[in-house]
Amino acid sequence: MRSLVEGVAQAIADLRIVDPSQWALRLGALAALLLAAALVTGMAPFGSPQAVLLTLVVLLLGLLQTARPDADAGLVAFCVLVIAVVIAGPLGAGATLALAALLMVSHALWALAASVPAHGVVRRGALAATVRRALPALGIGLVAGAGLLALAGAGAAVPAWLMIPGVVAVVVLLVLLLPRDGAPPAPRDPTAPRDPAA
């Protein structure tokens, strides 16, 4: 019992050091993920047992990713959503574009949150650099989306499985374009004793 109380106290202490800018990134990514899940369920996340199960699974994975932005739970949630779309059938061109955009925003926000320590402040320069690096991925997505809309307007059937390579390609491209300079070292505690060997 004591270890459980200590674990909860440590978790609360860890949450207290998270900077507000980190909370903004993490909660923004979680909101985008939940909106994507709502799109997949036809904006009725509790309309059927399957929709409820999908919503709860995505919510759990999203909360795990929010607690640890450097984890892979968010990517698992992306895969769950894509598989759900493939099983349920195509969403329509507009909803498909919105889903892809939400997944891209969610991934970008979590990736940026993971690049900075929990107590670190996310500077405007880092946000601007991320946006600049994401522009090529966004441009490719817009071109692909325009092609999908053109096919849909011409009456051509776009297979649902086509989403899988498309989403994977955009996420991989975004990962390659994001800054990889590494997180800055944590600031030294001025009250800590100095190491004589340093």
pTM above 0.75, yes or no: no
pLDDT in tens, 77-90: 988 988 888 787 77
Q: What is the DSSP letter of 47?
A: S
Cβ atoms of 143 and 173 within 8 Å: the answer is: no
Report how far residue 14's alpha carbon sits from residue 26's, in angstroms, rounded to the nearest whole number.
Answer: 15
- Phi/psi of residue 184, nearest 5 degrees: -70, 150
What pLDDT, on a 0 to 100 scale, did the predictor assign at position 186? 46
Position 145 pLDDT exceeds 70: no
Report how far residue 71's alpha carbon sits from residue 110's, in angstroms, rounded to the nearest whole number.
Answer: 9
Average pLDDT over residues 135-140: 71
pLDDT in tens, 7-17: 667 766 766 77
